[in-house]
Amino acid sequence: MLSRPLPSGRDWLVVTTNNRSKSSFAHKNEYGARARWADRGFRYNYIGDLIARLMKSNGFPLQVELHPGSHCGPLRCSYCYSRQQALCDGLMTIDHYSKLLDDLGGHSPFIEISGIGSDPLSYPDFCKLLRLIKRKGFSFGIHTKGLLLSRELIELLNSEHSEESYITIGVDSANADTYNRLHGLPPNSSVYNRVRENIVSLYAEKSRRHSSLKINLAYLLLVNNSSKQDIDEFIQTFGDYADVLRFSIPQVPNVADPIGYLHRTETDQVLRLLGKYANDKITVLNFTESTHDEAFEFCLAQRFNATIDKAGNVFPCPQVALKDYLSLSWGNTTEHSFLDIWNSDRRKKTQEMSVRDMKCRVCDRKDESINKELNHLMDTNRFVLDLKR
């Protein structure tokens, strides 16, 4: 329980803290690895960084996440947390995005481009969208499987843009057999080879242009891909084509059964194994549980994030940008301006609801750790979140 009732109001304008936590990015984990659990790509995982950003904020979202894509192509990833869940109907046009980005302009939130049950690159005008985002001066981070990385997009990604921008490509495998098994593909599929070639081309273009785009390759640790041989092979195959190789354990899906997840003791063994790789490129996200945390009552993460699905619906977080949770949407950007939606009574209403009433105990990990830590800091009176209008 919170030590005081959560004040109502739509703005969180002033944030103060007497928590003296250090805000260094580098941490040694308990296994001694040079793992960075506050990797810049995983922006909100580190509470010190979040608080510093909140103190400088102006009541506008720190990050807006776009889910422009409408499908995953041939991929049916066994671990996906959106399995068995449908997207809302509708697709924003490039004009809708242009208007939305104008609404966001001047406030400069970070634009995350991802999806749940979709790959963002499946948006038919993806290059046009990215050009708009860059032209309007936003920093961005893209999460994709990399299958639809075209030559045009590779060049665009490596042309001028902000220092902070990155792309994270989920690979999860060191060879085609494992890739096909994990991603629901037939044994003779060529998807893995195409993804690998795209990654090699992307990195070659980055090197040729000396671009500042950060290239992360993600690896979710599961029963079928976590042997020492698998991990060695992945590092050997991809180590020269990425800035960061990022390992983590997957989170249980929202509604479907978890398939092929490691047990806790196996997770510990794999993390210990990863701890032996003394390599600055290797990041291990500091989560050891796949299950969702149930220890907090209110969602505080929704106060500084917004996620916009392919149809323009604005949701409190990326994990609920799905048809089943349409009742949590604050409005649609094809009908209203983003600012009106951000300041709406509907948004205020979800802030006042407990997560039990929101029926959404499905946070992704960055939001879950924010919720856990902010609720705890408020409980112990080490953090004051001023939510005055």
Instruction: Please report the DSSP string for 17-34 in residue order.
Output: E-------S----TT---
- Which helix (H) or strand (E) segment holds residue 111: the answer is strand 110-113
The span from the CA of 113 to the CA of 42, in Å, is: 13
Contact partner at residue 85 from ligand SAM, ligand SF4, none, CB < 5 to 8 Å by partner kind: none
Three-class secondary structure of residue 316 per DSSP: coil
- Which helix (H) or strand (E) segment holds residue 351: the answer is helix 345-352
Least separation in angstroms between CB 273 and ligand SAM = 19
CB 149 within 8 A of CB 202: yes
Per CB under 6 A, the list member of 15, 35, 47, 75 interacting with ligand SF4 is 75
Is 80 a binding residue for ligand SAM by CB under 6 A? The answer is yes
- Which helix (H) or strand (E) segment holds residue 329: the answer is none
Per CB under 6 A, the list member of 176, 220, 285, 320 interacting with ligand SAM is 220
Contacts of ligand SF4 in 54-73 (CB under 6 A)? 72
Least separation in angstroms between CB 22 and ligand SAM = 27
Per CB under 6 A, the list member of 36, 43, 134, 143 interacting with ligand SAM is 143
Nearer to ligand SF4, 250 or 275 (CB): 250
Is 141 a binding residue for ligand SF4 by CB under 6 A? The answer is no
| Span near ligand SAM by CB under 6 A; candidates 18-26, 75-83, 291-299, 375-383 | 75-83
The span from the CA of 288 to the CA of 270, in Å, is: 11
Per CB under 6 A, the list member of 35, 62, 116, 387 interacting with ligand SAM is 116
Is 79 a binding residue for ligand SAM by CB under 6 A? The answer is yes
The mark string for 83-122 relative to ligand SF4 (x by CB under 6 A, - otherwise) is: --------------------------------x-xxx---
- Which helix (H) or strand (E) segment holds residue 366: the answer is helix 365-379
Rg of the Cα trace of the chain? 20
> Of 284, 264, 251, nearest to 27 (Cα)?
284
Those residues with Cβ within 8 angstroms of residue 237's Cβ, 6 or more apart along the chain or in another chain: 174, 175, 196
Least separation in angstroms between CB 318 and ligand SAM = 8
Size of the site for ligand SAM (CB under 6 A): 17
Those residues with Cβ within 8 angstroms of residue 2's Cβ, 6 or more apart along the chain or in another chain: 297, 298, 375, 378, 379
Per CB under 6 A, the list member of 81, 123, 238, 304 interacting with ligand SAM is 81
Per CB under 6 A, the list member of 63, 78, 85, 144 interacting with ligand SAM is 144
Q: Which residues bind ligand SAM (CB under 6 A)?
A: 72, 79-81, 114-116, 119, 143-145, 170, 218, 220, 250-251, 253
